[in-house]
Structure 1
């Protein structure tokens, strides 16, 4: 009888010990983690973001994209891309600096998912690249002239005048082409040049060799300040939408970045970045922007 009780007691103890093996074990942080839950926890861990290769302009675009004193990318567009990464944590952008032609070729061939620059939209590019629906900002274009020239304020005033030559890939060329199509018989002459810089172009105007130069106002202000050029903006011409340029196969990426861009405009993030870098909200009307540039003296 005693042996029977002993055997029963031993069996109860053994079952209790075995049951204890299935209970939670103390974790390193003082909590408890079910042994069977470890594989499941690992499977639900966040996946690393997908690296997206993109091209940046190797030539600094004042206030848009440049290298700061620490040799790090900075500017309106860089801040915009950082905000996109916050909105889309599944992606991480990796940049490579190349010239305009390299950006276009690399994006076309798929080396880059997108080219981050202030690209204008035109029919030729729309055939080869994918444009998002929403622009991420605007290029404010103006006419640089000598201080004593008060006869050049609009594109109409360029008819019969000498305009600084442009490269074949210049977005400003399409502004002039569009104007010429709408004004047959009163076209603006467009001269070609293989390669140039805003500083060199502005020097041609200061020397008197050319009457005017059509360019982004940020380029103008940067070059005039650095080179102490004696020039002025005769008139603010237009507010051109600027886009990122995607490889044709990057439909999903473009759509996600497009939707995030719309949110960044609606919540005021991009307008605030515009004020930060350009000292004027370029998302407002052209008239508002013209007044902002007209009275700024810095």
Structure 2
């Protein structure tokens, strides 16, 4: 009888141990607070911060997000994310690198809580995603032309000209679409292309096949560091507010990020990072930014 009783006790202990292992596996494989469940409710204080899955750009964006010489994430967006994590200890961000289309699809489906990129705001995206009220920064857009041209400095100058084709998901399209709505009868022609690179786009201008290309100033400068092209900035066009986009169910997270973004703007933190990465405070007026941007002489 003693032997049977001992065996029964051991069996009960083993069952309790296995049950404990099963519970732990459930949490790690998708329970509350796990990265595979970005829409999960907040964890209790004892279970630690809630893990939030974030889509980060897989294609380097000059000065915004890229890998440094030590293969570590760096740039304005990375510093901004680190500041957010400091201010929101109840969350732990877990990153996955993915291209633009994957960020949009993954955030819409709920795979990611939000996409950390410099997204422009437009009506189509606002139907699918949550936007914070306040921008975390600004993209400075410019027209690139050949060195020997001085006839294209503003969007008005593009009417009747050939602009380098752009992707259907490009934020620059909405700058042009808005312009066309405000200038009926004098629209800028927009051509489509599935995928391209900034280097390829600038080469099209350099070759004379196209008159101009609309691009982020930082991306232009990055290409010009690597290629000897006969192109220049014709004119700085706009200062476009940029945002992270959130899954529609992430209302609380989006509101918290927005509130902390305001704090980071008001205390000068984001202005400091802007000057560090872009050599100008993009939170100031467009006129100030235009004067502050120092284009290299070789451009």
The verdict on a shared fold, with TM-score over 0.5 as the criterion, is yes
Q: Offset of 1:70 from its aligned partner?
A: 1.6
1:243-271 deviations in whole A, cap 9, x for unaligned? 00000000000000000000000000000
Q: Distance in 1 between matches of 2:283 and 2:47?
A: 36
Residue equivalent to 1:239: 239
Give SS of 1:236's match: strand
* Residue deviations 1:166-209 (CA, integer Å, cap 9, x gap): 10000000000000000000000000001011111001001111
Q: Secondary structure at the match of 1:263?
A: helix
Q: Distance in 1 between matches of 2:130 and 2:151?
A: 40
Tell me the residue number matched to 1:211: 211
Does the Cα contact within 8 Å between 1:85 and 1:91 map onto a contact in 2? yes
Q: CA deviation at 1:297?
A: 5.0
Q: Which residue of 2 aligns with 1:293?
A: 293
Distance 1:137 1:163 in 2: 26
Give the match's secondary structure for 1:79.
helix
Q: Which residue does the alignment assign to 2:63?
A: 63
1:45-194 equivalences in 2 (<5 Å): 47-194=47-194
Rounded Cα–Cα distance in structure 1 between residues aligned with 2:192 and 2:124: 18
Distance 2:267 2:125 in 1: 30
Alpha-carbon distance change, 269 to 183 in structure 1, aligned in 2, over 3 angstroms: same
What secondary structure sits across from 1:97 in the alignment? Answer: strand
How far is the alpha carbon of 1:218 from its aligned partner? 0.3
Which whole-Å CA distance do the structure 1 matches of 2:232 and 2:225 have between them? 12
TM-score w.r.t. length of structure 1: 0.83
Contact 1:224 1:230 in 2 (8 A): no
- Cross-structure match for 1:27: none
Matches within 5 A, 1:11-22: none
Equivalenced residue count is 255
**Which sits farther off after the overlay, 48-57 or 106-115?**
48-57
Shift in Å at residue 228 of structure 1?
2.2
Distance in 2, matches of 1:161 and 1:262, equals 41
CA distance in 2, matches of 1:291, 1:185: 33
| Distance in structure 1 (CA, Å) of the matches to 2:289 and 2:82 | 25
1:220 pairs with 2:251: no
Give the TM-score normalised by the residue count of structure 2.
0.83
Distance in 1, Cα, partners of 2:294 & 2:72: 32
Which consecutive unaligned segments of at least 5 residues does structure 2 have?
A: 1-43
Distance 1:205 1:292 in 2: 26
| Paired residues of 1:107 and 1:247 also in contact (CA < 8 A) | yes
1:227 CA drift (Å):
1.2
User: Corresponding residue for 1:10?
Assistant: none
Q: Is the 8 A contact 1:67 1:74 kept in 2?
A: yes
Give the 5 Å matches for 1:30-41.
none
Q: Identify the range of structure 1 (263-272 vs 46-55) with the bigger mean alpha-carbon deviation.
A: 46-55
Unmatched tracts of structure 1, length 5 or more:
1-43
Q: Could you say what secondary structure the match of 1:86 adopts?
A: helix
| Structure 1 residues 139 and 45, CA gap change in structure 2 (3 angstroms) | closer
SS of the counterpart of 1:240? strand
The residue matched to 2:189 in structure 1 has which SS?
Answer: coil
CA drift of 1:85 comes to 0.5
**RMSD (Å) for aligned C-alpha atoms:** 1.4
Which of structures 1 and 2 has the bigger CA Rg? Answer: 1
